[in-house]
Structure 1
Amino acid sequence: MAIVMVSLLGGRPVPNMLAILHLKPDYLYVVVSEDSVV
């Protein structure tokens, strides 16, 4: 999960995001939504 936050904070989508998309899609959408709002 930490990888997702680090990836978003980096401001650049990494290959790991694809793996997370399959593992925790709902969690990823929540994090992306919060990042977009902020």
Structure 2
Amino acid sequence: PNASDEIIEEWLSSNVCRCTSYEEISKAIKYVLRGE
């Protein structure tokens, strides 16, 4: 639930093409992890 930016990037790098917006997806993941 308290994933760091590095952990989120690691998750994304193995599942999402780099041509997508990691930043927006990362923001969405953080939003969900905070329970918002």
Q: TM-score range by the shorter chain?
A: 0.3 to 0.5
**Which has more helix, going by share of residues?**
1
TM-score of the superposition, structure 2-length normalised?
0.46
Report 1 or 2 for greater relative contact order, CA contacts < 8 Å, sequence distance ≥ 6: 2
